[in-house]
Amino acid sequence: MNKRKKDPVWVHLVLIAAVILVCFPIVFALIKSTQNTEQVLSPSMGIGTSFLHNFKRAFLDYKLWIYMKNSLVISFYVTIGKIILSFLAAFSLVYFKFRGKKIIFIFIIVTLMMPTEVLILGLFNLIANQPAASFLQWASWFFNPVKLLFHPIAYGFGWSNTNLAIIVPFLASATGVFLFIQHFNSVPRSLVDSSRIDGTGPIGFIFHILIPMSWNTIGALALIQFVYVWNQYLWPRVIVRYDANQVVQVGMNKIISIGDSVAWGEVMAGAIIAMIPPLIIFSLLYHAFMKGYALSSNK
Amino acid sequence: MNIFDQGENAVFKGTWKAALFLLPTILILTVFLYFPAWHSLVMSFFRNNLFLGTHTFIGLENYRNLFTGPLAPAFLQSLIQTLLISLLIVFIGISASIFLAIQANKKIKGGTVYRMLLIWPFALSPAVAGTIFLFIFNPEVGIMNTLLDFLFSVKPRWLDSPLLALTLVVFAAVWKYLGYNIVFYLAALQNIPTEPLEAADIDGAGAWRKFFNVLYPLLSPTTFFLVFTNISYAFFETFGLIDILTSGGPVGPPNVLDKTGITTTLMYKVFQDGFGGSSNMGFAAAESVILTIMVGIVAYFQFSSMGKGIHYQG
Amino acid sequence: MKRVLSLFALAVLSVGMVCAGGNQETSQTEKPVKEIYFWHAFGDAARSQWIEDRADEFNAGHPGYKVVVEAKGSYRDTLQAAILADKQGSAPHLVQVFEVGSQLAYDSGIFMPVGEIGSFDTSDYIKPVLNYYTINDTVNSIPFNSSSPVLYINKDKIVEAGYPADYVPATFSDVIKLLETAKAKGVEGAKFSMCLHGWYFEQWMSEQNAMLVNNGNGRDARATETNLNSPAGMKIGNFMAELAKNDLYTYSGKFEDWNGSDAIFEEGKAMIHITSTADLGNISKAVEGKFKLGVGFIPIPDGATRNGTVIGGASVWVTKNHPEDELTAARDFVLFMTNTENMVSWHKLTGYYPVRNSSVEALKQEGWFDSDANQIVAFNQLLQTKSNKASAGALAGTLTDNRTIIETSLQKILQGADVKSALDEAKILSDTKLKEYNANF
């Protein structure tokens, strides 16, 4: 990998071709977002003059800025939550001695096959249904196997339309646990041993050694989770009832109304704007997690 | 699970501390994922309509309708298509991203630029990506066909020719997830030690051998992880893209795959039956149970076949 | 020390998160007046603003009540949201429901017929339109945004094909002949470009005075069977087959792709096109300077006597379980929103029909139709529609499923499948769906 011969041409060609293929749709969207309604439906790729107009319509008139603000707040909380929770869970599975690790690991990993799309109705009832009026009422349902079996969600949290509804169900991350486990297993054993010899407990180990070594994984996870929450569409659409609390992708879809006379220029402008925060986060975190391990002791 | 081959890392004692660290995750997963999943399972044994609020126990009737009766051929076709499309997405996606990541990782001029430019599509939401592709590939007025017509005088029917529509959907799905895969491979590539490769060079190994014997095994933890997430992506998250781009797609070739659209994956069908039309949620729940089982089986095969070959360093 | 700080930060974060949820609760805290909620599906600024303006006007004249308007997403989303809200005891008073969702709305049990809220005059509403929304002899909902399909014509290409500029093909065979002649003359884009949508199938059934489903189109009793492969249905299928055989039909390839097909027509890749009248404004604007646009009645199957089209669009329903006075206020708002002048202004803004006879009169009086001859065509098509069960439209819970099934079978026909077997298969599928739906009762 440290060969310094002249860069082979074919590598550049391949990469350029790949970049063109990958970036073309965005260039397309960019150009279309500058066109006005008549130009936009035609195959013309000329740069129009309506960008400011389209931008203003999408951002202000369609209130995209409110949705983006909401999405930012939620993405922030969920990302941090996922990182903390999965870090701790993975740490526990790798660095503690106890029985039943395999079961717990499977328990966590299986949830990768339970995406929101599949759970949506149950999740909705759980979040939106009103909580039981009293503990007794709840207990009489929860501890009754027949009721529990046939009406698994008679009572819920009553969080309809709150930020809690879009944050709390997503705080745990099987992906994160998986990633951190992989990462922890690659940490040199010597570091773990030396910390044990020093007598530092798990918390010390985490803060002084493990976290500094894990920034790249944390960065990767942060990026992925931020984008995942940012792109969420189905769940917020179902649970958030008022515009003021709505998130960006649902808000974007309001610009694409039901079929008559969509202003595609504005839609494309909205799409471009909606892409900017993830791209910013991406460029911020890119360097953080591209740099190698903090320590390269016994290599 | 050979993830825990490094059981030697388990140096800390104190089961209660371990439990504490695990508790938040387990709690959230149980309450917000397992519980609703259970609800879906229960629902699959009921006649349940979203609009009408019915909730009647009908035992296995939903499942019977899935495998026998007039609605079965569409379901079975969807099953097969899902497997086909997902395998294509995973295989093409992973291969393309390993290849591109390796090229982009080389110390060449503009490497950073290439890297950044290849990654961004995953910041785009599936619905918007689908809309853009729909625009580009409109067979009459889309830019792709205008170009192809100009160059080669052909105007392929991207959206209603089954083969082309399938290709388009697979391509769009791979395109969208490329960034995600490449990001992980780049991170992995930048963290692998140089000695094994240098040793291989000294041995005089050619590029292919270097790849298969040295690079690929070193990347195997990442590959293992990515194959799993790609499978999940292909089975579940491609829904948004398919919805916008083809709405389940053109019907396939007559008498072979013509019971339903060719790009109707099971996830899309769950939506179509559960949230579209007259919202037969019980039926859709049964389909989603089968879908989850299918993913489970695929994942099991993946874990058992790839799990052995993972190499860790350190 | 660092450790303690970090743990503290964690705690603060978690508390903050929980509070964040509380703080972001909705803004409906004080309720000095009674709020009447209206949920609709118009996400675009123009139409939602118009509705809000009407709400403001109404509120000004009705102290003690405040109509609160909200756009909820697509038609389906709006209906689903309303039903879910009702489950939680907080249904909005008024909901805009798409026309084919009428049976679903009726069966959901959360709505009450608006005709039962006191008594009011409905004679001014255009009859076939009101018929659609009348179930069991009671007016269930008030039509709000209504449209029908019309034929859009590229007059330049018509002339190129050797026909007089104001020629409008009246029957299916006229269409075929027109396109074949144009093709033979080398006219570019000698094709027909409606999007592939079950709606058109429903329209052509109505034009033949044929029922889409049994039991009087679902209006005498709950529908149990569809008539997709009836002789009337076969005529439609055969038309599509013939178009495909001679390469006279074009579309984007995706079902229900309104925009895709509009674009095809606007770019001159087709010479005749069918889509909603509501798009007249946009299409006229888009083709300005490109070609001369004409509009006509939609062509009908040969041998049929023109029966008229089914109204499309949506209506406003009223939900149950509200106090009497709120119901009356809600009803009054809908009647206000759809009164004569408001329907005129709605029409001018959106192109939807003003579904009141008085509104049509008013428009005629001010010469609205003189300036744009194309507008009046759509009106005439509606006004000349006969009032019967076929044109009242089908009433069934599975109409949306039906449309997908129809579209699938039409696509198969376009790809060369035999019309009879495709439609037979479609009938089996849609009947199964219908049976499944009816099993809920």
pLDDT at position A205: 80
Cβ–Cβ < 8 Å for C146, C132:
no
Q: How many domains does one find in chain A?
A: 1
Residue of A nearest to B314 (CA): A188
Calpha distance A170→C114 (Å, rounded): 42
**Who's near C40: CB < 8 A, 6+ residues apart?**
C48, C51, C69, C70, C71, C72, C78, C95, C96
Distance from CA of C339 to the nearest CA of B (A): 31
Question: Which two structure tokens, joined as six digits, stand for C167?
Answer: 């020629």
pLDDT at position C210: 93
Q: Tell me which residue range forms the domain holding A206.
A: 63-257
- Whether A49 maps to a domain, the answer reads no
Q: How many domains does one find in chain B?
A: 1
Residues C180-219: tens digit of each pLDDT: 999 999 988 899 999 999 999 999 999 999 999 999 999 9
Residue C317 main-chain phi, psi, to 5 deg: -105, 155
Q: Is A59 on the interface with C (CB under 8 A)?
A: no
- Whether A229 maps to a domain, the answer reads yes
Residue of B nearest to A42 (CA): B141
Across the interface, of A62, A77, A128, the residue whose CB is closest to C17 is A77
Q: Which residues of C301-326 are buried (b: 16+ CB within 10 A; e: fewer)?
A: beebebbbbbbbbbbbbbbeebeeeb
Calpha distance B28→B26 (Å, rounded): 6
Neighbouring chains to B with at least 3 Cβ pairs closer than 8 Å: A, C
Cβ–Cβ < 8 Å for C426, C198:
no
Mean pLDDT taken over chain C:
86
Q: Tell me which residue range forms the domain holding B210.
A: 69-307
Cβ–Cβ < 8 Å for A5, B201:
no
Distance from CA of C275 to the nearest CA of A (A): 10
- Whether B21 maps to a domain, the answer reads no
The yes-or-no verdict on residue C26 having pLDDT over 50 is no
Residues C365-406: tens digit of each pLDDT: 888 877 777 888 888 888 899 988 999 999 998 998 899 999
Neighbouring chains to C with at least 3 Cβ pairs closer than 8 Å: A, B
Distance from CA of C21 to the nearest CA of A (A): 5
- Quick one: pLDDT band at residue C8, thresholds 50, 70, 90? very low
Residues A207-256: tens digit of each pLDDT: 877 888 788 778 878 888 888 888 887 777 767 766 677 787 777 766 66
> CA angle B47-B52-B55, nearest 5°?
30
Distance from CA of C222 to the nearest CA of B (A): 15
Question: Which two structure tokens, joined as six digits, stand for B253?
Answer: 């070739």
- Whether A173 maps to a domain, the answer reads yes
CA C400 vs. chain centroid, Å, equals 12
Select the residue from C24, C256, C275, C346 to test the A interface by mutation, using most A Cβ atoms within 10 A. C24
The yes-or-no verdict on residue A72 having pLDDT over 80 is yes
- Whether B24 maps to a domain, the answer reads no
Across the interface, of C26, C27, C75, the residue whose CB is closest to A258 is C75
Across the interface, of C24, C43, C45, the residue whose CB is closest to A245 is C24
Residues C28-82: tens digit of each pLDDT: 444 467 889 999 988 777 788 899 999 999 999 888 899 999 887 778 878 888 8
- Whether B312 maps to a domain, the answer reads no
Distance from CA of B25 to the nearest CA of A (A): 5
Least confidently predicted of A285-294, C101-110, C329-338: A285-294
- Whether B60 maps to a domain, the answer reads no
Q: What is the CATH number of the domain that holds A205?
A: 1.10.3720.10
Nearest to C142 by CA among C332, C360, C389: C332
Q: Considering the entire predicted model, what is its pTM?
A: 0.83
- Whether A24 maps to a domain, the answer reads no
**Who's near A2: CB < 8 A, 6+ residues apart?**
B107, B194
Distance from CA of A299 to the nearest CA of C (A): 30
Cβ–Cβ < 8 Å for C334, C410:
no
pLDDT at position C63: 87
Q: State the ipTM, two decimals.
A: 0.81
Q: How many helices (H) and strands (E) does chain C have?
A: 20, 11
Question: Chain A contacts of C88, Cβ < 8 Å?
Answer: 128-130, 160
- Residues on C contacting A at a C-beta cutoff of 8 Å: 2-3, 6, 10, 13, 17-18, 20-22, 24-27, 41-45, 70-71, 73-75, 77, 81, 84-85, 88, 256, 258-259, 262-263, 266-267, 276, 278-279, 281-282, 285-286
Q: Is C404 on the interface with B (CB under 8 A)?
A: yes
Nearest to B237 by CA among A232, C80, C257: A232
Give the torsion sign (CA, C273, C279, C284, C290): negative
The number of beta carbons lying within 10 Å of the beta carbon of residue A158 is: 15
> Digits of tens for pLDDT over chain B (314 positions)?
345 555 666 777 777 888 888 899 999 999 888 888 888 888 889 888 878 878 888 889 999 989 988 888 889 999 999 999 999 999 999 999 998 888 888 777 777 777 778 877 777 777 778 888 887 888 877 888 888 888 888 888 888 888 899 999 999 999 988 888 887 888 778 777 777 777 777 777 777 777 777 788 888 878 887 888 888 888 888 887 888 888 887 887 777 777 888 888 888 888 888 877 788 888 888 998 898 888 888 888 887 887 665 555 43
Interface contact flag, B157 C263, Cβ < 8 Å: no
- Whether A189 maps to a domain, the answer reads yes
In this structure, chain B runs to a length of: 314
- Whether B32 maps to a domain, the answer reads no
Neighbouring chains to A with at least 3 Cβ pairs closer than 8 Å: B, C
Domains of chain C plus CATH, in order, are 34-146+312-384 (3.40.190.10), 149-310+388-439 (3.40.190.10)
Nearest to B96 by CA among B180, B172, B188, B174: B174
- Residues on B contacting C at a C-beta cutoff of 8 Å: 47, 49-54, 56, 65, 69-71, 74, 134, 138-141, 157-161, 165, 245-248, 250-251, 254, 258, 260-261, 272, 275-280, 283
- Whether A158 maps to a domain, the answer reads yes
The continuous run of DSSP H or E covering A135 comes out as: helix A135-142
- Whether A81 maps to a domain, the answer reads yes
Calpha distance C403→C393 (Å, rounded): 14
- Residue C437 half-sphere exposure, CB side, CA atoms within 13 Å? 30
- Helix (H/G/I), strand (E/B), else coil: B289: helix
Residue of A nearest to C282 (CA): A261
- Whether A292 maps to a domain, the answer reads no
The yes-or-no verdict on residue C173 having pLDDT over 80 is yes
Across the interface, of C400, C417, C429, the residue whose CB is closest to B276 is C400
Calpha distance B58→B56 (Å, rounded): 6
Interface contact flag, C254 B140, Cβ < 8 Å: no
pLDDT at position C3: 46
Q: What is the CATH number of the domain that holds B126?
A: 1.10.3720.10
A73 vs A77, B32, C22, CA distance in Å?
6, 21, 14
How many A-C residue pairs are in contact by the CB < 8 A criterion?
102
